[in-house]
Amino acid sequence: MNKTNILPGFKPALGFTLLYLALVVLIPLSTLLFKTLAPDSLLTWQGYLDIIGNERVQAAFRVSFLAALLAAAIALVLGFVIAWTLVRYSLPAKRFFDAIIDLPFALPTAVAGIVLASLYAPNGLIGKPLTELGFKVAFTPAGIVVALIFIGLPFVVRTIEPVLQELDTSMEEAASSMGASRWQIFQRIIFPNVFPAALTGFAMAFARGVGEYGSVIFIAGNMPYVSEIVPLLIITKLEQYDYAGATALALTMLLVSFALLLTINVVQMLLRRRTSETLAPLAPVVAITP
């Protein structure tokens, strides 16, 4: 650290940051790791493999990660359109719409889950016409995706919105003066500039989705092998005092999420090096929030 740095407070700021990170993030997460790896652990390597190898557990992992990925991808597309609309067009009640975006942040997730479940249930407002058309949403994996889109959408909108605001519209005008079509402008100008932020939004929506519990359990139906998510399994194991099993699932989830988010971060770093400019914050690392 440069001693002549004109910005004061480096040491207290660093100290505070480390303390905060340690208390809130590192200690809880590493406890999970050390508890599992400790010699007196209830969990042996073989035991761990048995738990993870269980077919029901593997199905739950598939459901959790696939639903979260799919929901994040859909939220990305929807969120981009919403952010685009809010930034580029002047709408009558724009501020109102803008405020509404954040509601899923504030709403207790259980409330969201119950509302979504009753809406999409076979006799619900949306569920009924869908059922008539032959789609079953509530109490299937599709229901999980719906709940996760709801939860993930504000993350995507809030990360893409500021980048679109900053995006210089004269770049698009310049492109069209050189003969580029609207699609070419999107593909070659807008998309590459928004991509890093979109990736962050995607990662946040995904991370939140993987750990989501409250809103999912009401709409998922929680059928083993079909629509059971890992956080639910963890709770179930805890309720049965199967601490070793719960820890094994939690640890695996932590590792897989970490690996996925690390990949996204590396992609962003490579992108950033190309333009040597900060376009978006790095993707977050997940914590499970039952």
| # residues near other proteins by CB under 8 A | 21
Binding mask 188-207 for other proteins (x = CB under 8 A): xx--xx--------------
Residues 121-180 touching other proteins, rule: CB under 8 A, are: 168, 170-171, 173-180
Can you tell me the distance from the alpha carbon of 279 to that of 204, in angstroms, rounded to the nearest whole number? 16
Q: How far is the CB of 173 from other proteins (least distance, A)?
A: 6
Can you tell me the distance from the alpha carbon of 237 to that of 247, in angstroms, rounded to the nearest whole number? 9
Cβ distance 197 to 161 under 8 Å? no
In the complex with other proteins, which residue's Cβ is closer, 141 or 196? Answer: 196
The per-residue b/e assignment along 211-246, b for 16 or more CB within 10 angstroms, e otherwise, is: bbbbbbbbbbbbeeeebbbbbbbbebbbeeebebbb
Q: Which stretch binds other proteins (CB under 8 A): 17-25, 70-78, 109-117, 182-190?
A: 182-190
Q: How far is the CB of 77 from other proteins (least distance, A)?
A: 21
Rg of the chain in Å (alpha carbons): 22
Residue whose tokens read 């969201």? 112
Q: How far is the CB of 274 from other proteins (least distance, A)?
A: 7
In the complex with other proteins, which residue's Cβ is closer, 21 or 269? Answer: 269
In the complex with other proteins, which residue's Cβ is closer, 118 or 176? Answer: 176
In the complex with other proteins, which residue's Cβ is closer, 194 or 286? Answer: 194
In the complex with other proteins, which residue's Cβ is closer, 5 or 278? Answer: 278
Q: Within its chain, how far is the Cα of 122 from the centroid?
A: 28
| 254, amino acid identity | L
In the complex with other proteins, which residue's Cβ is closer, 172 or 242? Answer: 172
Q: What are phi and psi of 238, to 5 degrees?
A: -65, -40
Can you tell me the distance from the alpha carbon of 213 to that of 117, in angstroms, rounded to the nearest whole number? 14
Q: Within its chain, how far is the Cα of 178 from the centroid?
A: 38
Binding mask 215-254 for other proteins (x = CB under 8 A): ----------------------------------------
Q: How far is the CB of 117 from other proteins (least distance, A)?
A: 43
Can you tell me the distance from the alpha carbon of 222 to that of 147, in angstroms, rounded to the nearest whole number? 13
Q: How far is the CB of 178 from other proteins (least distance, A)?
A: 3
For residue 130, how many other CB atoms are within 10 A of its CB?
Answer: 16
Q: How far is the CB of 84 from other proteins (least distance, A)?
A: 18
Note whether 278 binds other proteins by CB under 8 A.
no
Q: Using the rule CB under 8 A, which residue among 4, 6, 133, 274 binds other proteins?
A: 274
Cβ distance 167 to 194 under 8 Å? yes
Note whether 275 binds other proteins by CB under 8 A.
yes
Can you tell me the distance from the alpha carbon of 154 to that of 82, in angstroms, rounded to the nearest whole number? 10
Cβ distance 165 to 87 under 8 Å? yes
Q: How far is the CB of 263 from other proteins (least distance, A)?
A: 21
Which residues contribute to the site for other proteins (CB under 8 A)? 168, 170-171, 173-181, 184, 188-189, 192-193, 274-277
